Amino acid sequence: MSAGIPGYVILAVLGAALLHATWNALAKGRAGQGDPLPSTILVVAGGALASALLLPFMPAPAAASWPFIAASSVSQVAYYLLLIEAYRSGDMSHAYPLMRGSAPLLVALLNGFLTGERLSGAQWLAVCLICGGVLAMVAARGPVTQPASQPASPLIPSQRRATLFALATACVIALYTMIDGAGVRRSGAPAAYTMWIFLLNGTAVTAWAARTHWRALLRLVGARPLLLPIGGVSTLGSYGIALWAMTLAPVAAIAALRETSILFATAIAALVLRERVGRARLLAVALIACGAVAMRLA
């Protein structure tokens, strides 16, 4: 699996990156405009609902993949809870690049030891370019805007809090990426494998949130009725494409390539969420683009 990644796989993963940035922007919303918890829960619930509707028409994953489905579902519950806290604590343009940039580097470092999968020298260069560009965005970041819905902790300043939650989220992303990279190859049914994960973790997260936030969830459904279907399809499609790609190319390479979503997330953050994006961040975007090209040529 160290050969160059086919062009159609790269195009598919770039599409998945756009979907991923889209649903994260839907979950985050504009800075200072409310708690991201209800919007994130609706996106997760939408993914679970879409999965429930489609699974009856899908072949069942192989028995060997079910322990991986269970482990991934549990880790992704933790992912969503940490993601909510990261977005409560700071801007999307701070938390998103940090969590998405750190995760594939962790995958690249650890996956070889766990699975024996090796990247070529050119693919390692592409991974480093993509991760370096994403993390360079964080280095270019000014003070984080504290959302009105989340008062700053007297013990943990807003920027440090956002960074800590983003790094914790990155660790969980790396964990479930490695789990699913192995599990989806054993499943024989990448689409159904993905949908079972979304059904299980989505049901758990939605049930947990509905206990204490059901009024906020109902208000948001009325105010933004398209959030649940659009967010759900975006998150399910984004990860489903990535897992399918992992059956055709090295897990670490796909994990890194998928993080070109930061290109789309930066544009959304600037144009839709009205966050400030300076020259240094644009240079970091160019570095990520070079990494994507290097991945195609590797």
Q: What is the pLDDT of residue 2?
A: 43
DSSP state letter for 5: P
CB 93 within 8 A of CB 226: no
- 2 assigned to some structural domain: no
Q: What is the pLDDT of residue 32?
A: 44
pLDDT in tens, 138-179: 676 554 444 444 444 443 456 678 888 988 998 999 899 889
Q: How many domains does the chain divide into?
A: 1
Find which of 28-37, 67-76, 128-137, 268-277 is predicted with most confidence, using mean pLDDT: 67-76
Mean pLDDT (whole number) for 276-290: 72
- 183 assigned to some structural domain: yes
- 44 assigned to some structural domain: yes
Residue 262, pLDDT > 80, answer: no
- 195 assigned to some structural domain: yes
Query: Cα separations (Å) of 133 from 127, 146, 211, 279, 289?
Result: 10, 25, 40, 13, 9
Q: What is the pLDDT of residue 34?
A: 63
pLDDT in tens, 96-117: 777 877 777 777 777 666 666 6
- What is the rounded average pLDDT for all residues in the chain? 81
Nearest alpha-carbon partner for 9 in 175, 251, 176: 251
SS3 63: helix
pTM of the model: 0.78
Residues 6+ apart with CB under 8 A from 277: 93, 266, 269, 270
Place of tokens 């956002």: 162
Residue 137, pLDDT > 80, answer: no
Residue 72, pLDDT > 90, answer: yes
Residues 6+ apart with CB under 8 A from 239: 16, 20, 194, 197, 198
- 90 assigned to some structural domain: yes
Structural domain boundaries enclosing 240: 7-297
Nearest alpha-carbon partner for 101 in 171, 25, 44: 171
- 1 assigned to some structural domain: no
Least confident of 2-11, 189-198, 231-240, 272-281: 272-281
> Who has greater pLDDT, 61 or 281?
61
